[in-house]
Amino acid sequence: MPQSLSSVYVHLVFSTKDRRAYLQDQQLREEMHCYLGGISKRLDCAPVITGGIEDHIHILARLHRTISQADWVKELKRASSVWIKEKDNTQRDFSWQVGYGIFSVSKSQLDQVALYIQNQEKHHRHRDFKDEFRALLDKHEQDYDERYVWD
């Protein structure tokens, strides 16, 4: 019997619209991280870790072979936007940025990337989201146009 197998790990990064601090409340942020992990799991994209700070998210996950990157991200953003607006009516204006960055991660680098995501609060005492995202794009040799990255 033929099999289709896949072992593709990805590091997904996206921000709130205009990098607004919608997730400033620590409890709400942790609940959002858990909720995003649950959505990912439901889509058969096993989350390794979900983290971030008040204005952006990082997710390290194993992408399932039957879903495209774009469909995975679209559902993560859609479902979490609905959830937060229903959970807290002060978040009625909540939205994610349209774009995102997604980067491949080799199995040998999983622990390093997970630790990076786990230490987001400490990391962002010295570097804002834009600088962090530029560094990720540069590290992965991704060409980009700043006019379109910050929607």
Segment 25-69, tens digit of pLDDT: 999 999 999 999 999 999 999 999 999 999 999 999 999 999 999
Residues 6+ apart with CB under 8 A from 70: none
Q: Are 50 and 118 in contact (CB under 8 A)?
A: no
Amino acid at 114: A
Answer whether residue 2 shows pLDDT above 80.
no
H/E run at residue 104: strand 101-105
Going by C-alpha positions, the residue among 36, 43, 27 that lies closest to residue 77 is 36
Instruction: Quote the CA–CA distance of 43 and 39 in Å, as a whole number.
Output: 6
Distance CA 95, CA 148 (A): 17
pTM over 0.85: yes
Residue type, 136: L
